[in-house]
Structure 1
Amino acid sequence: MKQLKNMLFMTALAILGFSCGKKQEVIPLDKHSIIPIPVSVAPEAGSFTLSSKTAIVLSSDPSQLEPVAEYLKSALGNLTGLNLSIGQEEKDNSIILSLDAGASPHEEGYSLSISDKKILIAAPAPEGLFYGIQTLKQLVPAHGGSSKGSGNQFLIPTGTVQDHPEYAYRGMMLDVARHFFSVEDVKKLIDQIAVYKINHLHLHLSDDQGWRIEIKSWPLLTTIGGANQVGGGEGGFYTQEDYKEIVRYAQSRFITIVPEIDMPGHTNSALNAYGILNPGITVPEKTAVPIDRKALGLEEDPKATPYHTGIEVGFSTFDTNNPVTYQFIDDVIREISEMTPGPYFHIGGDESHVTAMEDYIPFIEKAQAIVSKYGKKTLGWDEVAHAKLLPTSVAQYWAKAENAILAIEQGSQVLMSPAVKAYLDMQYDSTTHLGLHWAAYIELDQAYNWDPTELEAQIRRENILGVEAPLWTETIITFEDIEYMVFPRLAAIAEIAWSPKNARNWEDFRRRIVWHGQRWEAQGKNFYRSPKVEW
Structure 2
Amino acid sequence: MSPLSLVPIPSSVHETGGAPLVLDERTRPTGDADAARELTRLIEARTGLRTRELGGDGGAPATAASAIDLRVEPGGAAESYRLRVAEDGATVVGADAAGLFYGVQTLAQLIEPDTEGWVIPAVEIEDAPRFAYRGVMLDVARHFFDVPAVRGYIDRAAGLKFNALHLHLTDDQGWRLHLDSRPALTERASGSSVGGDPGGFYTKDEYRDLVAYAAARHMIVVPEIDMPGHTHAVGLAYPELAEDPVVTEHMLEIVSDYGGEPPAAGEAYDGLAVGFSSLRINDEATYDFVADVFGELASLTPGPYLHLGGDECLGTDPADFAAFVARASAIVADLGKTPVTWHEAGAAGGLHPDTVGQYWGGVTPTDGMDDTARAFVSRGAQVILSPADAVYLDMKPRADSDLGLTWANGPTSVRRAYEWEPADVIDGIGEADILGVEAPLWTETVRTPADIDALAFPRIAAAAEAAWSPATGASDQRTWESFRGRVAGLAGLWDGLGIRFDAADEIDWVR
Q: Does 1:369 align with 2:301?
A: no
Distance in 2 between residues matched to 1:398 and 1:289, nearest whole Å = 26
Contact 1:389–1:412 (CA<8 Å) still a contact in 2? no
Q: Does 1:85 align with 2:64?
A: no
Tell me the CA shift for residue 472 of structure 1. Answer: 0.7
SS in 1 for 2:303: coil
Cα deviation, 1:398-423, whole Å, max 9, x if unaligned, reads 12222111211121101000112111
Name the amino acid aligned to 1:413: Q
Contact 2:231–2:242 (CA<8 Å) still a contact in 1? no
Which of 312, 323, 330 is matched with 1:351 structurally? 312
Distance in 2 between residues matched to 1:228 and 1:375, nearest whole Å = 33
TM-score between both structures, scaled by the size of structure 2: 0.90
Distance in 2 between residues matched to 1:394 and 1:220, nearest whole Å = 30
SS in 2 for 1:307: coil
* 1:438 match: 407
Which of 203, 206, 221 is matched with 1:257 structurally? 221
* 1:140 match: 111
* 2:364 match: none
Give the paired residue count: 480
Distance in 2 between residues matched to 1:267 and 1:279, nearest whole Å = 9
* 2:136 match: 172
Alignment map for 1:63-142 (pairs within 5 Å): 65-79=32-46, 80-89=48-57, 92=64, 93-102=66-75, 105-141=76-112
Distance in 1 between residues matched to 2:289 and 2:51, nearest whole Å = 51
* 1:10 match: none
Which of 196, 202, 208 is matched with 1:232 structurally? 196
Distance in 1 between residues matched to 2:288 and 2:352, nearest whole Å = 21
Tell me the CA shift for residue 42 of structure 1. Answer: 1.4
Cα deviation, 1:299-337, whole Å, max 9, x if unaligned, reads xxxxx6211110000110001111111111111111111
TM-score between both structures, scaled by the size of structure 1: 0.86
Q: Does 1:507 align with 2:481?
A: yes
Q: 5+ residue gaps in structure 2?
A: 362-368
Cα deviation, 1:154-195, whole Å, max 9, x if unaligned, reads 221112110011111111111000000111000111111111
Contact 2:143–2:444 (CA<8 Å) still a contact in 1? yes
Distance in 1 between residues matched to 2:243 and 2:109, nearest whole Å = 54
Tell me the CA shift for residue 288 of structure 1. Answer: 5.2
* 1:296 match: none
Distance in 1 between residues matched to 2:45 and 2:487, nearest whole Å = 21
* 1:62 match: none
* 1:415 match: 384
Identity of matched residues, %: 40
Distance 1:193 1:290, change over 3 A: closer
Distance in 2 between residues matched to 1:118 and 1:384, nearest whole Å = 53
Which of 448, 452, 461 is matched with 1:491 structurally? 461
* 2:359 match: 397
- Report the more deviating stretch, 422-431 or 445-454: 422-431
* 2:205 match: 241
SS in 1 for 2:171: coil
SS in 2 for 1:467: strand
Name the amino acid aligned to 1:464: I
Distance 1:430 1:87, change over 3 A: closer
Distance in 1 between residues matched to 2:246 and 2:109, nearest whole Å = 52
Q: 5+ residue gaps in structure 1?
A: 1-26, 59-64, 143-148, 292-303
Name the amino acid aligned to 1:389: L
Distance in 1 between residues matched to 2:5 and 2:495, nearest whole Å = 16
* 1:23 match: none
Name the amino acid aligned to 1:478: T
Cα deviation, 1:231-286, whole Å, max 9, x if unaligned, reads 12220011111111111111111111110000000000111111111233367897
Which of 177, 185, 199 is matched with 1:213 structurally? 177
- Computed over aligned residues only, the root mean square deviation of the Cα atoms, in angstroms, reads 2.0
Distance in 2 between residues matched to 1:273 and 1:485, nearest whole Å = 33
Distance in 2 between residues matched to 1:87 and 1:424, nearest whole Å = 37
Tell me the CA shift for residue 479 of structure 1. Answer: 1.2
- Report the more deviating stretch, 163-172 or 383-392: 383-392
Distance in 1 between residues matched to 2:175 and 2:261, nearest whole Å = 16
Distance in 1 between residues matched to 2:191 and 2:370, nearest whole Å = 36
